[in-house]
Structure 1
Amino acid sequence: MGKPIIYGMDRGPTVRAVLLTAHAIGLDYELHEIDPHKNETKTEEFLKKNPQHTIPTLEDDGKCIWDSHAISTYLVSKYAKDDSLYPKDLYKRAVVDQRLHFESSVLSPRMFAFGAARKSTDPQVLENARTSVLEAYDFLEKFLGGNEYLAGDSLTVADFSILATFSTMISFVPAEQEKFPGLCNWLNRLTQLPYYQKANGDGLQRFMEHIKKLASQ
């Protein structure tokens, strides 16, 4: 049986979320770079793996899974030494799942909406999008409460998923320490993880370089 293969580009937040999970559990994996913007996800070979032609996609033991949340929870369930990153306790797992759904249904869409609003000639459109992003930050601040992590006292895949997206968003809409102290402290805490730079920081830097390149064209 070969190593699990992760298809994607690490400048994307969803791919970085999976990489954070993989590093956290010490997974020996291969990253195959594949660029959707070059239609590399629409080849006949890749469509057999993932008919939705999305990244990240995981290939493990001849089987394929896509969607970063599904991949991360699968990897923890199969390869982690314990269930701390995705608890078996039903209530704790439900809280983690809620945070994951928040990332995909609220946080990430608002990030993309802000990106689209930056192209608008109407200043109010951009301001409305910015307000929407800040509201999402406020939700996260409330999720944390007095806890160190987003789903309680322990690090989970919910932190990885939201970290990858949030660390991207603050490049465009900063989160002020005075207004979001818990969220900023949470971010600082996670950037100290020994695998943070390789799993998220490097890809985030490549993402920002890509954005600057597009802006200059």
Structure 2
Amino acid sequence: MTIDLYYTLGSPPCHLVDLVGAALGVKFNRKHVNLLLGEHLTPEFLKINPQHTLPTIVDDGYSLWDSRAISRYLIYKYGKDSNLYPEDAKARATIDQRVDFDLGTLYTRFEDYFYPQIFAEAPADEAKYKKLEEALKFLDNFLEGQKYAAGPDLTLADLVLVISVSSIEAAGIPITAYPNVVRWFELVKGKYGHVITPGAVILRNATTQLLKK
């Protein structure tokens, strides 16, 4: 069955689902949703996702939203032989910790610092920038002596985190002070740059246009 993917351009969570799909070889029937036109608030879309968030998938009549939930679902159903989310309890717990760190710390601090600047024309907040720097230092420490974010193999943790780091870089925030992050970022881009880079370019261009207003 074809999986319908409802997405919007320039959205890091939507880019994550694209990346997981690429890692699993899953193909999507892509359905663009224009937020500016309110297409996420139509009765038809609200029947699929009453929370009206993106990304959303519909797989053989089953609808699901939230990029991390979608990512795990895709791995459960289509990646049983994949190392992206192994069954070993300790390995899975480490992956979960990294994914939760991204959700609760890294990406959240990026949103808190950057999005008010582009959507509300707020000035840069130095205190929020320091918190983002702290989060990047945490990630740099996680990667010390590690090939990937959760150990020797590429996992869901890497796919989640690389989207956040690519978004941070696309926003013009330097990552050069974090050598482990830079090394790891280039490693993952070497595998999936064909998916990561276009999404980052869209975000960078959208950011540039918003900041010019």
Q: TM-score, normalised by structure 1?
A: 0.90
Cα distance between partner residues in 2 of 1:24 and 1:66 = 19
Q: 1:68-94 CA deviation, whole Å, 9 max, x = no partner? A: 111111101111251400111111111
- Quote the residue 2:212 is aligned against: 216
Q: Offset at 1:10? A: 4.1
Alignment of 1:42-121 (within 5 A): 42-116=41-115, 118=117, 119-121=121-123
2:126 partner amino acid: E
CA contact (8 A) 1:20 1:196 kept: no
- Quote the residue 2:193 is aligned against: 196
1:184 and 2:179 are equivalent in the alignment: no
CA contact (8 A) 1:76 1:86 kept: yes
SS at match of 1:7: strand
Paired residues in the alignment total 209
Percent same amino acid at aligned positions?
33
- Which of the pair has the greater relative contact order for Cα pairs under 8 Å at 6+ separation? 1
Alignment of 1:136-215 (within 5 A): 136-170=135-169, 171-176=171-176, 179-193=177-191, 195-197=192-194, 199-215=195-211
Unaligned runs of 5+ in 2: none
Q: 1:142-165 CA deviation, whole Å, 9 max, x = no partner? A: 111211111111111111111111
Cα distance between partner residues in 2 of 1:100 and 1:10 = 23
Q: Runs ≥4 in structure 1, deviation > 6 angstroms?
A: none
Relative distance call for 1:11 and 1:150 in structure 2 (3 A) is same
Q: TM-score, normalised by structure 2?
A: 0.92
RMSD, matched Cα: 1.6
1:4 and 2:3 are equivalent in the alignment: yes
2:180 partner amino acid: G
